[in-house]
Structure 1
Amino acid sequence: MVTKKNRRGMSLVVCLVLLISHTNVSAVCPENTRSIDVTGKIYNNAVTLGTTLGTMHLVYGKNEKLKCGILGSGGAGQDGTLSFIHTIVCDDKFDTGINNETIHSQLTLNTSGSGVFQLCDSGNPEGGVYGVFNEASIPLFGRGIFQNVAGGEILIEGSINCQFAVDMEFKGHVCLPGQ
């Protein structure tokens, strides 16, 4: 028998589950670092087997917008698994504090995921596959605004077409020194 007390208890549990599922628990960073949000879009092409090259529109923090290049090296397995190292270099000028030199921000990511792909029809001059995929990227190395990156996670949703155009959207965070 469901009583009012049981319904209230069940409602509380459902509310807590929904709240927890919508909380960005992956935004937890190591001690003495802070979480900085990153979002954006990537437009690239597969240029050779296992290599992608393209552009990234990146929003860093609240509203800092950067244009970046992105180079991917890796590939897809027969089972739809994906594994890439992505290197991103942006159009900003970061002051190193050394001899008035500037550098461009860079972020290197270890990316893995899976997708659902189908062969393109034989009449397509490019051949290949088309489909959709999901990936997760973990920061490995950074320069400029990403100097001393200490973790984070960036979630990616994307698609590839028979002409090897790859479009992606991403959202996540990076962990950087400071409070």
Structure 2
Amino acid sequence: MNNKHPVLVNSMVRGAAAAAVAVLALTSGAASAEERACQGRLAPISAKITTNAIGPGDTLGVLAGKIDGQLKLNCGIQGKAFFNPDGTFGGFTHTLVCGDTMSEFGQAVHSQVVALSRYDGMPQFTSCGIPGMDLQYGSFREITEPQSGRGIFSPTGGGRLEVEGTVNCAGAVDMKISGEVCVVY
């Protein structure tokens, strides 16, 4: 079983030693980063994310959801893989930019949040069986922690999201998120 994140499905195999170290990192609690303090109020969020792998370690897609069960979110989302200092897979930095507009200091501000996502447990990926290609399909679970924001999201981040996702052999990644995010509206 290959333990790469779905957006890495088109990348070259990094070697058995790197895979073994990644497995160790994932099973030793890499998903348990410290939660940031909220400098606003925690609000419930639920959303659906639809993305595609656009290159090794990169995804691009859309998020549609709600905060407080009422405020609608329509956002673009970009994912970028990051690696730990020892070279093991660390997770993803996800950046959302939303279609709302607020006025701050006489300027238009679009809400944005930058979050770190890490596996919660071992992903369940299987080879697509296409010779010469490292394509995978299956499911995964992530914990996502907002680190910074603007617009309706707290500049200091805060909150915690649970992500349930799947990836297919075409590189399509579908995710459902729920949890709480720190807002300042």
* TM-score, normalised via structure 2 length: 0.70
Which one of 108, 115, 118 corresponds to residue 102 of structure 1?
Answer: 108
Which one of 90, 96, 118 corresponds to residue 98 of structure 2?
Answer: 90
Query: Are the structure 2 counterparts of residues 45 and 150 from structure 1 closer, same or farther at C-alpha, using a change threshold of 3 Å?
Result: closer
Does 2:128 match 1:120? yes
Which residue in the other structure is 1:147 paired with?
154
Which residue in the other structure is 1:20 paired with?
none
Q: Which ranges of structure 2 fall in alignment gaps of 5 or more residues?
A: 1-34, 84-88
- Runs (4+) of structure 1 exceeding 4 A deviation are 28-32
Cα RMSD, aligned residues only: 2.6
Which residue in the other structure is 2:17 paired with?
none
Which residue in the other structure is 2:171 paired with?
164
Which one of 135, 141, 145 corresponds to residue 134 of structure 1?
Answer: 141
Structure with larger RCO (C-alpha < 8 A, sep 6+): 2
Is the CA contact 1:58–1:67 (under 8 Å) kept in the aligned structure 2?
yes
Report which of the two structures shows the higher radius of gyration computed on alpha carbons: 1
Does 2:66 match 1:59? yes
Which residue in the other structure is 1:34 paired with?
41
CA distance in 1, matches of 2:128, 2:115: 29
CA distance in 2, matches of 1:29, 1:110: 11
Which one of 100, 107, 111 corresponds to residue 117 of structure 2?
Answer: 111
Query: Are the structure 2 counterparts of residues 150 and 43 from structure 1 closer, same or farther at C-alpha, using a change threshold of 3 Å?
Result: closer
**Equivalent residue pairs, number:** 145
Give the counterpart letter for 2:109 in structure 1: I
Give the counterpart letter for 1:83 in structure 2: G
Q: Secondary structure at the match of 1:110?
A: strand
Is the CA contact 1:111–1:136 (under 8 Å) kept in the aligned structure 2?
yes
Is the CA contact 1:110–1:139 (under 8 Å) kept in the aligned structure 2?
yes
Give the counterpart letter for 1:95 in structure 2: S
Q: Secondary structure at the match of 1:92?
A: coil
Q: Which ranges of structure 1 fall in alignment gaps of 5 or more residues?
A: 1-27
Is the CA contact 2:78–2:94 (under 8 Å) kept in the aligned structure 1?
yes
CA distance in 2, matches of 1:75, 1:45: 18
